[in-house]
Amino acid sequence: MHEVTSENERIVDLVLDYSRRRILSSDTPLDKPETEAELQRLAGRTISEKGLGADRALSIFEHVLAPACITTDHPQYLSFIPLAPTKAATAFDLVVSASALYGGSWLEGAGAVHAENEVLTWLASEFGLPAGAGGVFVQGGTLGNLSALVAAREAARAHRLENGTEPPARWKVVCSVEAHSSIASAGRIMDVDVVPVPSGPSGALEGKAVRAALEEHGASVFAVVATGGSTNFGIVDDIASIATLKADYDFWLHIDGAYGLAAMLSPLGRPYFAGVEAADSVIVDPHKWLFAPFDACALIYRDPELGRRAHTQHAEYLDTLTESTEWSPSDYAAHLTRRARGLPFWFSLATYGAAAYRDAISASITLAHDIAREIERRDGFTLVRQPQLSVVVFERDGWEKADYDRWSSRLLDEQRAFVVPSSHAGRTNTRFAIVNPRTTFEHLTAILDTMA
């Protein structure tokens, strides 16, 4: 299996040929899931003592398994937050695997770590963070948020020890009621209390409400999480008003910008993010709106040393790494073994340049506002809220959840689009999450037409 043989050369050629066809396809179908029983019937038993051989295994994947997976980079995939990797990023993902790179330590992957750190430094600068800010690419926003909050709590604990003050009976995190579910998940994992604060009329968390929570819960609050573009609505919290509270209260400000923080690259989105420069940590997912493949979340600390102190693992066999002063990505999040997952983004950014990213993000924001105006213009439709970034939420007047469910299923069955129902404040709605530069105004209006 491991030698360079004529058979293995043929296997590599088969896989590379399929990959090339898939990457360069301009008409990949949307596809849809199948039942477990149907997949068992179509695929049959694939694991055996003697093996199927590469031709049969790849054929089953191409013709049975892959079509049972929705194509997340399809321009009419508009649910959740879509994927839209550049061709360069997707292609380079093959290189990362082919090169047998380990991205956990400088000792083993200095070149990869150097390239990833260049991207992290560039992002930190775009977000207004000071020189010296840095971090690591982790799996996704959930792990990024968890790792940042662990670092925040460790910093708060160390600060109290230095001052000779007792830690609180329960640590607390303040966030919006609209915060991503990963914040509540992090609270459960860390065994800390999450204090949800009502958002203002615009849907954004405001400094006044955070101040009230800080007054009520006092020194037990070690972190405040502001959302830089909520998943459901794309709303950016009033980060500037929250950041000003740091002058009066001692807390770690974390920005969950998994989806929306990328908008800071665009002159259309940047005005919403005043105050990010005061953050102690931020996350943004390149696999969302920075056109990288799954899976990559950039976790950036204002002071990376605080992340290192919280996360460095110690063991005898790791001494050669932990006793070094070189930058090892494993030290900055809740992980050890690590793929160099930031490299596809690095290659794409280095290839196309930052201006191409700014233009693509701006195009999504413009399209979101264009289709919002179209929704407002149409009889029988209600725009739930004016979009800030690139998520557009709307209702079909008179529809119940069952109507949305039937419509959504029909769209996917007919391979028109993937648009699922959502809800807010007890009301069912639906939404367009627009991040793919190949999504057009005509795609979106055609979907609206199906709701007539």
Q: In which element (H, E) is residue 297 found?
A: strand 297-301
Q: CATH for 354-449, among 3.40.1260.20, 3.40.1160.10, 3.90.1150.170, 1.10.3720.10?
A: 3.90.1150.170
| Pairing label, strands 221-227, 281-284 | unpaired
Q: In which element (H, E) is residue 194 found?
A: strand 193-197
The 10 Å Cβ neighbour count of residue 226 is: 30
Q: How far apart are CA 7 and CA 406, in angstroms?
A: 49
| Pairing label, strands 252-256, 221-227 | parallel
The reply to whether domains 95-352 and 354-449 share a CATH topology is no
Angle separating helix axes 343-352 and 106-126, nearest 10 degrees? 50
Tell me the C-alpha to C-alpha distance, in Å, between residue 113 and each of 247, 338, 352.
35, 11, 20
The model's pLDDT over 315-348, given as tens digits with 9 standing for 90+, comes to 766 666 667 779 999 999 999 999 999 999 999 9
Phi-psi region of 64 (alpha: psi -120 to 50; beta: other; left: phi over 0): alpha
List the chain domain ranges: 1-30+33-69, 95-352, 354-449
Cα within 13 Å of Cα(119), Cβ side: 29
Q: How far apart are CA 301 and CA 295, in angstroms?
A: 20
Q: How far apart are CA 435 and CA 367, in angstroms?
A: 10
Cα within 13 Å of Cα(49), Cβ side: 0
Q: How far is CA 281 from the centre of its chain?
A: 15
What does the longest C-alpha to C-alpha distance in the chain come to?
71
The 10 Å Cβ neighbour count of residue 297 is: 26
- Residue in this structure with the two tokens 């119940």, named with its chain if needed: 400
Q: How far apart are CA 352 and CA 34, in angstroms?
A: 37
Amino acid 113 reads V
The secondary structure of the chain in percent helix, strand, coil, rounded to multiples of 5, reads 50, 15, 40
Tell me the DSSP string of 211-279. Answer: HHHHHHHGGGEEEEEEEBS-TTT-PBP-HHHHHGGGGTS--EEEEE-TTGGGGGGSTTTGGGGTTGGG-
- Residue in this structure with the two tokens 């213009």, named with its chain if needed: 377
Please work out, in degrees rounded to the nearest 5, the angle formed at the alpha carbon of residue 299 by the alpha carbons of 293 and 301.
160
User: Which residues, other chains included, contact 316 with Cβ-Cβ below 8 Å and sequence gap of 6+?
Assistant: none
The model's pLDDT over 263-289, given as tens digits with 9 standing for 90+, comes to 999 999 999 999 999 999 999 999 999
- pLDDT by residue for the chain (452 residues), tens only, comes to 999 999 999 999 999 999 999 999 999 999 999 999 999 999 999 999 999 999 999 999 999 999 999 999 999 999 999 999 999 999 999 999 999 999 999 999 999 999 999 999 999 999 999 999 999 999 999 999 999 999 999 999 999 999 999 999 999 999 999 999 999 999 999 999 999 999 999 999 999 999 999 999 999 999 999 999 999 999 999 999 999 999 999 999 999 999 999 999 999 999 999 999 999 999 999 999 999 999 999 999 999 999 999 999 987 666 666 677 799 999 999 999 999 999 999 999 999 999 999 999 999 999 999 999 999 999 999 999 999 999 999 999 999 999 999 999 999 999 999 999 999 989 999 999 999 999 999 999 999 999 99
Distance between start and end Cα atoms, the chain? 57
The three-state secondary structure class of 264 is helix
For residue 195, report the phi and psi dihedrals to the nearest 5 degrees.
-105, 100
Across-strand partners of 194? Answer: 173
For residue 169, report the phi and psi dihedrals to the nearest 5 degrees.
-65, -35
pTM: 0.97
The model's pLDDT over 408-426, given as tens digits with 9 standing for 90+, comes to 999 999 999 999 999 998 9
Tell me the DSSP string of 337-355. Answer: S---TTHHHHHHHHHH-HH
Structure tokens at 96: 């990362």
For residue 191, report the phi and psi dihedrals to the nearest 5 degrees.
60, 50
Cα within 13 Å of Cα(68), Cβ side: 14
The 10 Å Cβ neighbour count of residue 62 is: 13
Q: In which element (H, E) is residue 407 found?
A: helix 401-413
Q: How far apart are CA 44 and CA 239, in angstroms?
A: 53
Query: Class of 95-352 per CATH?
Result: alpha beta
Q: Is 193 exposed, middle or buried (0-12, 13-18, 19+ CB in 10 A)?
A: middle
- Residue in this structure with the two tokens 């969302």, named with its chain if needed: 288
